[in-house]
A and B are shown apart, each in its own frame.
Chain A
Amino acid sequence: MTIDRKTFAKTIDHTYLKIHRSDAEIKRICFEAEKYGFASVAIFPVAVPLAASLLKDTGVAVCAALGFHLGAYPPEIKAFETEDAIAKGATEVDLVMNVAAAKAKDWDLLKREFELFRKAAGDKIAKIILETCLLTDDEKIKACELAKEIGLDFVKTSTGYKKGATIPDVKLMHETVAPQLKVKAAGGIRTLEDALAMIEAGASRLGTSSGVALIETYDRRFG
């Protein structure tokens, strides 16, 4: 497949969701995101104020990772968490859904969570993380249909803390939600081949900590 460099860079959410580094790491990924024209930096809420100050007026979004990484608490607290992240400077929000609700077939709870998430996110881009490796295909489809019904912006495969995105999952999610919603693939995307295959399968965004390596490989191959 062919994709121009600028469009490719704008699929990448440049991600740091680990706990062993300092503010210097946040500064580094913000610098790289602006340099390469990535879509966003994806970071924990505690890092949002710093990233928001560094990325003001750059066209790079500040994406707060919410509910990490288990997502197992009440929707009202998740809604508060969403509002809090946006108040502190987040312009996109990725929330881990209540996986247990799907496993228990408590679709009413999941619907309420998605509704409160949508309301709390307002006009910001709202991505719900399914953690597909824990779900059956039926559960993935049901969660995707709910996300479409509520009008979220993206369905996202994975937190990156468990098994990551697979091509069949991205295809299934894309078939279920397109064209109204988009798909973000995350977890385990380390090579240009991985990245292009995910885009081919229907992903509009890639959550990865390998963004710089991906774009440099792109340049070597197509530049």
Chain B
Amino acid sequence: MAQIEAMKPEQMAKVIISSLIEANVTAADITKFVNEVKPYGFASLAVDLPFIDITVELLKDVSTHVTTVASYPLGGMTKDVKVKQVEYARDHGAYDIDVSMNYLAIKSGDFGTVEEEVRQIMNAASDLKIVMIPQVTVLTNDEKAKTCEALLKGGCKDIKTASGFGWKTEVEDVVFIKRLFGDDIHIEVSGGVRTHQDAIAMLNAGAERIHTSTAFQVMGMDKTLAYQKKE
């Protein structure tokens, strides 16, 4: 595959997902954030469940999607609760939802439980795109492979490698998953993609979308987002 060396900001924007997800983020913060980034043509903006409605409304005249999250970022909620969150996102018009997986089951080698969770979430999704988060940062290569197999068996082809919040993705993680699964799994990268070159390396490794909290830097622009995580 031809290797990209650089991308124009407007090209890069089309694969960027920017987010404003923190415990203390209010509707007023979301409004300022969305209005700030709306002109740049990002692939999607990620917000927590209560803010889907206003984000959909603010983005109604542009192509940028609305992403939300379930059991994020720790994955400790039961599959029944994750299904409730997926149903809420579906009914409120989100385009996709990033779902943290059952890491306890993964680390315990219980991939039947992992697969069943994915299947129930897929069954609840309808038109909502499901993106599962394997959290590669805490997995061995064997666990990454078995988790991706369980995802495919459960009917999901889309992953976001890690959740951010300190959990990082290495280029090697993307290479490893692409080598085993090729185009069967679509990869979004999250966690540690800070610069334009970080993003280019991930895309060259086979990632399709980039989650980042430094979107303008990743686009190669000399400015920073005014509305970042507030902690």
Binding site for B on A (CB under 8 A): 17, 19-24, 26, 44-47, 65-66, 68-74, 77, 80-81, 84-85, 88, 96, 99-100, 103-104, 131, 134, 162
A23 to B72, CA, bound (A): 21
Question: Cβ of A65: which chain B residues have Cβ within 8 Å of it?
Answer: 76
Question: Cβ of A73: which chain B residues have Cβ within 8 Å of it?
Answer: 48-50, 85, 88
Q: A80-B84, A134-B231 given as contacts; is B74 within 8 A of A72 (CB)?
A: no
Selected from B48, B78, B85, B135, the residue in CB contact (under 8 A) with A88 is: B78
Q: When the two chains form their complex, are residues B81 and A99 in contact, meaning their CB atoms are under 8 A apart?
A: no
Q: Is B3 an interface residue when CB atoms closer than 8 A count as contact?
A: no
A39 to B161, CA, bound (A): 37
B86-136, CB < 8 A from A: 88, 102-105, 107-110, 135
Tell me the minimal C-beta distance from A186 to chain B in angstroms: 15
A69 to B108, CA, bound (A): 22
Closest chain A residue to B110, Cβ basis: A23
A77 to B108, CA, bound (A): 27
Q: When the two chains form their complex, are residues A72 and B104 in contact, meaning their CB atoms are under 8 A apart?
A: no
Give chain B's interface secondary structure class: loop
Binding site for A on B (CB under 8 A): 21-28, 48-50, 72-78, 80-81, 84-85, 88, 102-105, 107-110, 135, 138, 231
Closest chain B residue to A139, Cβ basis: B24
Q: When the two chains form their complex, are residues A74 and B24 in contact, meaning their CB atoms are under 8 A apart?
A: no
Tell me the minimal C-beta distance from A96 to chain B in angstroms: 7
- Sample of 13 A–B contacts (CB below 8 Å): A17-B76, A19-B74, A24-B108, A44-B76, A44-B77, A45-B77, A68-B76, A70-B21, A70-B23, A73-B48, A73-B49, A74-B88, A103-B24
Question: Cβ of B74: which chain A residues have Cβ within 8 Å of it?
Answer: 17, 19, 44, 68-69
Selected from A84, A104, A131, the residue in CB contact (under 8 A) with B81 is: A84
Q: A19-B135, A21-B107, A46-B102 given as contacts; is B48 within 8 A of A104 (CB)?
A: no
